[in-house]
Every structure is written in structure tokens, then in C-alpha cells.
Chains A and B, each alone.
Chain A
């Protein structure tokens, strides 16, 4: 049996199984569905708890953030670890650490491979120079305001990473690496998760469980554990943003220079 036929059969079977299950789904948007209102015989619905109580318990208006960064903060920490592990895996596969190896071919390290002539370079360069600060400021806003409005560490981190990629695309990778060197971004990636995990670890030293931010009121000197939770969420978002930014740029730098980091796009 050739691969196409067997793949088609596998896809059809999977599709049939999925459709078989869909028949019993609750209606779209049904407020009494199990996910929205819980089920008889089970624990009280987590969704209702988040909707009704999360502002009282965490003082964070954006309940998506309070679920992600507090109630299920342990998951989010490991999501960040997933990104970190992906960056490391790409590093170990692509990166060539032997500086004495000859370059595979004279790499297009200079500005004039893709862009002909000075006037185009001026257009691209100027646009990037204008855009990059704006992107970065907006990214910082997204990170810092994540617990009040849509956004957060992942989104802001991606934007920050994109701004460095833009430096490399508009000029060249060497310029970008001069601003954010490999030593720095690989360490920043670890540092980001370390910041996150530290917000979990400090409560353990204060006699509570991992990630129990409420007890940090003793350190933040807030009135009540709720504000301490809110502040901690901002802190962990900053950690997430650092890791995501570094790994975004690390992946780009490794891919675009074929692991050489000595030129490239």
C-alpha cells in the first residue's frame, strides 16, 4: 500500500472519529454547557468561579490573565519552558561553535545582496529606524498592561523579538547581534524563566506553596494579598516576555545564518 493511500485512510478514520464525538457537543455559546456552568455531580464550575471571583481574589480586571498567570500559573511557566526548550533544541541542531571551520560559502553578509543601490537601502533603513522604536514601545505596553487589557508576556515578547529581527532584516544580522549578542540572549532566555520561577519560590520560603503569590504582600507591602497577586502577575509576565523575545531572536539568528552567527541575512 503506498503512503498516500494509507495516509488518506488514516485521515478519514480520524475525521470520522472526530465527527462521531461532535454530535454530542453542547450548543455553541450555551451558557448551561458543562464548560460554562459545570456538571451535576462534579465540583463547582471553575469557569463560574473565574468569572465571579477572579477580580475579588486577584484585583486583575483581565480574567484571562488571572487564569493564565495565577490560577493556572504553573501551566504557563511550563509553556515558557516549552519555548525555551524549543530554542535550545534548535541551537543544538544548527549552531556551529567551531570558529575555525570554513564558512560554507561566502555568506551574503553585506548589505547589497537583496537590496540594489543606495536609494532602496535608504528607504528600508529609514523605515526600520522609525518602526523599531514604536514596535518596542508598543511591545512594552502590551507586556505591562497585560493584566488590564488584552496582551501579556507572550504577545509582548514576540513583538520585542520581532523588533530585533527587523534590525537584522533592515540592515544585517551582524548589526542585530551587536545590539543583542548571542551570549546575552541565551542568558536572558534562562533569566526570564528564572524570574517566573522565583515568584513561585519566594512564597515557599515564606511558608506557602509554590506560586502562592498572595503571601508576597509582606515583600510588596501592599494592603492585602490581592494586590500582591496582581503585582506578581506583572512580574511573571516580564519573565515570560524576556524568554519569548530571546528565543524568537535566537531561532531567527540560527536559521538565517545556518548556525554560524557570523553574518547571514
Chain B
């Protein structure tokens, strides 16, 4: 059983999806139990895999039993870099599934079997992307994730969400094509699709490593992944797609799609081409860091300009992607930037989940789409507010939330590699986040037009000098995922030491460096 965890992880949601495809529209009440059972199985397998990797180190799973020679079959590989991401994906998907009792707009709620089928296919693909050790298999699963997410976005009832989905489809297809082209160039140059095999070849064979085709392959794959993760100049599809789609969809896509793409970038950098090759053969890693600086600043400034809550959160994602790309490309000797980027995948996944769940609750229960609609929020929904405030503080980077520690590691990487522009951008972005969230907290606490001179911090206990505002009931299935995610933010921050030590096991340059604080 334990041997089969890598396959069970990917297959449980696939079988769930097929089951829903077969019998889902007989009885819509079957949907949620099937989704919960298959994602629960995946979570169990992901945690089991994590424990196995902790105990024995990396685990390889040879599909079809094709073990020798390496590269004829497809291998799944779980190591200390991807098992935390797998657990994150499983946990987030399970929480969103609980949250999504009525996924689509009223008009499309009769399509919930199809909605949940796509939901599970997306989870299957995200697990598969994260665990595969084969460059082409990664492309196939990226396609599955892309097609199912187009459907999940387009199911919303409004017209503009169909247009957003069309934009997303075009950009997503371009991104996937770039990645595929890059894989083709790479295969022509090294004759292998297996990630560890390619890395061995590039490390040992100078002719292959210095080939222009391999460099082109790297650039193409990288640009493809950047489009998928909405890295700064290529982010155009994201804000509309994530803010106009149903809340359950945005709560699933926003925390997972960009983060898994960042993981893919880190995997391609460390596990396919290798950091030595990247920092040895390419002279432009500083340029990428500067792009990241622009991404962080632009994302933050655009977020300031938004009136809609979800739009603002979308631009914050663009900034956060800048954090992670910049961190991964710092190239400091101790790999602290990469560590920060990997840690931030987990941290940002939880923060984004909490914020989008909260935004979904606001939109549904209060009809609040714009930030200005949130006045009196703290008294209307005290528990939801707690979760929202925790996530907001984490975005700003207040200890002991995980947002503080990811910034700590990223800044450490920035200082050690001498990339001061990146350090400054991170600090500016934290300030902007502070402005953004305290503005919301102020509206939530004092109402839309706060009296002059008040600079209260946005904690949830109100003083009650205004007329009593009626509480708005939030059902448990929406509240529980939000609070669990908020608890995850704090826990991930408190236990950052062991998590970071574990993540760093997979980083080649990190082994010689000092242990985590």
C-alpha cells in the first residue's frame, strides 16, 4: 500500500472524476461525498509520502514497471522539494471542496456534476505536475490542468467571465506551446525526457551543456512557465479570469495554479538544467531578478489602484509571483533565495486561499464586491474577520505568520547575493500591503468614512459606539475552511524551522551552508 502512494495520490481524484462522469447526474448529492473522499485519499497519500520521504529520502515510482534503463518509461519522484507542495495542493483542494457547496451561479447549478468532474481533473493534474520526473509528462498534465481550469472559469454565469476564460485560454495555450517547443529542443539536444537523466547529461557532457539549442530550450520552457504563472509582463490574463469566475473556482485556482507553476520553474531550474548550468552558462540571471523587482513594484502599485477586493488580491498575486521568481534567481551561495521561494509557495498558497475564501464569503453573504462595501465587517462577521485579518497580516509580513518568515528568507538571500534592488522591492511591497490591508481594516472597523485622526490597528474587537450592526450568519461549511487555512498560516510560520530544513535537503548548494535559524 505505502509503495503505491505516488500513484494513489494522482489516481484517487481521477477515479473520482470518472465516477462522477458516470453517475454524477443521476443524483447531484453524490458529488460532494465523492470529491471529499477522493481528495481525502490524496491527502492521506500525500502525508504518507511526506513521512516516507522524511524517513528514507527520495522515493521513485516506476510506472508500468519500466525501471531499466532509465528513461524508457515514466517515473514519479517524491522528494523533499515536492512533497510539501503535494500536501499543500491536497489540503487546499479539500478545503475548497468543503467551501464549494454551491459552486456555480444559480443559472448553472444544474451542471454541478460536470463542475466537480473538472474540479477533480484539475486536482489530478496538479498532483501529477508536482510529482512527475518526466519533462514531457509534465506538459501533458499542464494541458489537463489548463483545459479543466478554462471550464471552471467559464462556468460562471456572467458574460465577462466567458470572455476572461477566452483570454485565459489563448494565453494559457501560448504558454503551454512554448513549454512544449522547449521540451522538443531539449530532447533533440540530449535525447532524453527524464529529468534526472537530462541533469546528469548537462552536468557531465560539455558539448551538450554549451549547445545553443539547449539554451534556447531553457528560454522557451521558462517563458512558457512564466506565462502560466503570470510573471509580470505576461500577467494580463490573470486578474479578470480570477475575479470574474465563481468563488469556489477562484479559491481553487488562485492559491494553486500560480504556485504550482512556480514549483515547476524551480523544478526545471534545479532538477532539469541544474543550478550550476544556469548560473554557469547564462549571464542574465541578474536581469531576471530585475524583472522580478518590476513585477513586485508593478503588482503592488496596480493593487493599490483597485476598488474591487478580488481584483486587488489578483494584483497582489502578481507581486507575490515576483517575490518567488526573484528569490529563485538570486543565485546566492547558500541558496536562501531558493529556500525562501519554496517556502513562499506554501505560505502564499495558504494566504491566498484564506483571502479568496474570505472574499467569496463577502461577495455571497454581504454582496460586497468593492472594498468600500465592507464597512462594519468586523461586527457583522467577527469569525470571518479573524481569518481575514490573519491572512492580511501575513501578506504584510507580521510575525509569527508565515508571511514574515518567507520574506525573512528571501531578504536574506537578497542580501547575501548583493541584490539590493530586490531587497528594497520586498520592503516597499510590504509597506504597500500594509497600506492596502489597513485601509480595509479601517473600513471594516469604522465604516466607510472614518473620523479624522483615527489610526487604530485592525483587530476584531469593536468598541460599539456606533449603532449595532446585525451579525450575518456564515454557515459552517464556509467558515471552517477559512479558519483552518488561517490556522495553517500561523502554524506554518511557527514551525518554519523544520519546514525550511526539510525543503533545503533538496537544494544542492544548500547542504554546505549554515542551518536555518
Contacts and interface: CB of A to CB of B under 8 A. Distances in A.
Interface of A: 17-18, 20-26, 33-47, 49-50, 70-75, 78-79, 81-82, 84-86, 88-89, 91-93, 95, 97-98, 186-187, 189-191, 193-194, 197, 200-201, 203-204, 208-214
B64 A187 contact: no
A209 B62 contact: yes
27 contacts: A21-B213, A34-B188, A35-B187, A35-B191, A43-B192, A43-B194, A43-B200, A49-B72, A70-B64, A71-B72, A72-B74, A73-B63, A74-B137, A85-B121, A89-B118, A89-B148, A89-B151, A92-B118, A92-B154, A93-B151, A190-B17, A190-B18, A194-B15, A194-B18, A200-B7, A210-B11, A214-B65
Interface in B109-140: 110-111, 114-115, 117-118, 121, 124-125, 128, 134, 136-137, 140
Contacts of A88: 21, 114, 117-118, 121, 148, 151
Interface in B77-121: 108, 110-111, 114-115, 117-118, 121
Given A42-B200, A211-B64, A20 B114 contact: no
Given A208-B65, A212-B64, A42 B191 contact: yes
B77 to A, nearest CB: 13
Contacts of A72: 73-74, 136-137
A114 B240 CA distance: 41
Interface string B329-354: 00000000000000000000000000
A183 to B, nearest CB: 8
A75 B137 contact: yes
B200 to A, nearest CB: 6
Nearest to B182: A21
Given A46-B69, A85-B144, A97-B110, 15 more contacts: A39-B205, A42-B205, A50-B72, A74-B137, A78-B140, A84-B21, A85-B151, A92-B108, A187-B21, A189-B21, A190-B17, A190-B18, A194-B18, A208-B65, A209-B65
B21 A74 contact: no
B116 to A, nearest CB: 11
Interface of B: 4, 7, 11, 14-15, 17-19, 21-22, 25, 61-66, 69-74, 108, 110-111, 114-115, 117-118, 121, 124-125, 128, 134, 136-137, 140-141, 143-144, 147-148, 150-151, 154-155, 162, 165, 181, 185, 187-194, 197-198, 200-201, 203-205, 208, 211-217, 219-220
Given A34-B208, A92-B154, A209-B63, A82 B216 contact: no
B350 to A, nearest CB: 27
Contacts, number: 208
Contacts of B201: 39, 41-42
Contacts of B151: 85, 88-89, 92-93
Contact of A91 (B114, B121, B192): B114
Contact of B111 (A41, A50, A97): A97
B215 A78 contact: no
A187 B22 contact: yes
A45 B188 contact: no
A75 B74 contact: yes
A34 to B, nearest CB: 3
B111 A92 contact: yes
Contacts of B118: 85, 88-89, 92
B6 to A, nearest CB: 9
